[in-house]
Structure 1
Amino acid sequence: MRTILTGLAVAGLALCSAVAGMALAAEPSPELIAYGKTLVEAGDCAGCHTADPARPFAGGKRIDTPFGAIYAPNLTPDRDTGIGAWTDADFVRAVRNGIAPDGSNYYPAFPYPFFTKMTKDDTLAIRAYLGTLAPVVSRNKPPELRWPFGYRGLMRIWNAMYFKPGLFEPDQGKSAAWNRGGYLVTGLGHCGACHTPKNYFGADKSAQALSGSKVGGWYAPRLDGAARTGLQSWSAQDIAEYLQSGRNAKSHAGGPMAEVIVNSTSKMSEADVRAIAVYLKSLPPARRETIVTPPDEAEMKAGQVVYAKLCIACHEADGSGAPRIYPPLPGNALLQSNNPSSTLRIILDGAHTVTTPRAPNTGEMPGYAKQLSDAEIAAVTNYIRNSWGNAGLLVTPAQVAKARMREADGE
């Protein structure tokens, strides 16, 4: 009997040792964690999941949508309020299919329609990095959505209509850089979440991918090859420089894009940023550009008066500015966008040049909301959108007044 018990004890010790060995083997390697960190930065996860910089990834940040507000959840490894108790399968299903561990559906403000293109290995690398964060107790806030959008069950219908799960499919006829850029743009980087127009139900108009869309009080411009309002006039180097530094010889980043550059693209590897540039430069226009009728002579003269008084000192009489310090206006794609929201936001509120390790010098433009009337702001906007070869749709004082109201509402 003693022999049998001794044998069982030895077998038990051997089993425990084996299990312990398996547990040790399951620990993510430093290389995997480091790779996961690069993916988290490429996906700009902190941009949505950090409300308090002192508590990174603890969630709580309010995300406004056309249907109401959603609060980003806690991604730290706290077992009660974060993802510490999740299994790998839970995490993969949440990220790539938008389904929580309890089986409920996430709203597509969480961009799982893009993340579905990620590989399982990359998804688990992200989990490995998140598992190294300091656990933070931060309970998730319920969404504040208008009726009937608060019923998560409706997401099953939305998914059936608009969600297409599946990995990014490489094009064997394209270069490795193009395929890497496509993987980042259409998947992990979820560029279309802002830059693709949406239908009435908040789903992407896939036939118009990356052809520009409204984002709160701003406008995310076209990333396709449109001549006047897209990236046709930008080189791949222009795109890479913009993503790495927040500025180039053609434009400066502002609004939500400035945050993306600071938190995400400026931290990405040279190879990944250039891959994005290669992919974007290959995109044809997703829709035709609107034919523009120039403003009348009186409107242009009224705008020129305002420009000569307030703008010419920095942007010069010919609009050339000082590239990478004061953005040039001729040929500026965002300036000529059909939707003038970003231009109006900058004129009303002013702008601060985004600073990055590659471009640490600062710049500032004052806001003119209090100094100029709606008619004056409309006039100067029309002037700069239709001078020096530019062509932009007419902006009315009513549009300026609406932009002021959005500012007053905190949007």
Structure 2
Amino acid sequence: MTAAIAGIGATEFSKDSGRSELRLAVEAIRAALDDAGLRPADVSGLCTFTMDNNSEIAVARELGIGELTFLTRIGYGGGAACAVVQQAVLAVDAGIADVVVCYRALNERSGRRFGQAYVSPDPDSGWHVPMGLATPAAQVAMVARRYMHEHGATGDDFGRVSVAMRRHAATNPHAWFHGRPITLDDHRASRWIAEPLRLLDCCQESDGAVAVVVTSLERARDLACPPAVIAAAAQGSGPGQFVMTSYYRSSTATLPEIGVVARQLWQRSGFRPADVRTAILYDHFTPYVLMQLEELGFCGPGEARHLIAGGGIEIDGRLPVNPHGGQLGEAYIHGMNGIAEAVRQVRGTAVNQVPGDGPVLVTAGTGVPTSGLVLTPNL
């Protein structure tokens, strides 16, 4: 790869922003451009999620960007988080655009709440909505139950993920749950959402926006902040793919789409799981964190519960996961805040900085076609 993330920006994370999603997007993009030392006039490409309500031309008008030579969007909700960066890399490498901004803005708590029942126009929904699987939590619960049956995982194993994320968020001033860690007993006492998922197994609903600036590594080296080199970017879908729960696979207790992404990331970057300094994993539901650890190669099938035991994914553990608190602890901005955290870790400016100069892994939403990144310092 010859591209890098040169700037990051975000709004505050809240439960009621009091602002339009367009204004949130503009604020985050301005912050990212300021971070990179660039102007709106320098931007020639924009990339976001198909679920984002802010059209590229509206964002460009509000920012005063002017001409654009690259505009694109990625589907499948949170699965797009790293794929938007991959698209920016492809545009920069191909010479289609010089500076591409990737953004996501949503009033997900004060506006449309993704955790509520929703009938999608996608014909696939006809297979599960009539059966009562009308929310992401209900769909993931079925996978989680099968995973527990096959591998002996328990609700406490899921709870340890939540405890770790909230512990990290508690020391992150930008996190919604700053100063509010939880215990395993708190997790056990939280109400059921869809068994075996409790409230504290499910990510937040947040208002806010995050943006990142992608440009060539050569140009990024001359900008305001140290570049986060994009060592690898990948997108992937698994066989028999549905959304959140894939019913026709040989096993429903796996996430093969993240395996597709992992194989590409390791091959393209030249790194291996053992090289990773910290992993920023998409933690929309705690069971999918365990399953990602296995698909990514950090442990074997069914072994993630042993990896996380005794604080294995906490800051001083074998594999620190989500030092910012993730979507369980910091905010749910469809994974884009995880990319921003990865850049901070590479720069050495994170609140909960993980020592070393090894690569940082980022994943996007799982249970859907997904994506991932490997970022490194400019050594």
Higher helix share: 1
TM-score (norm 1): 0.26
Q: Which has the higher contact order (CA 8 A, sep 6+)?
A: 2
Higher strand share: 2
TM-score (norm 2): 0.28
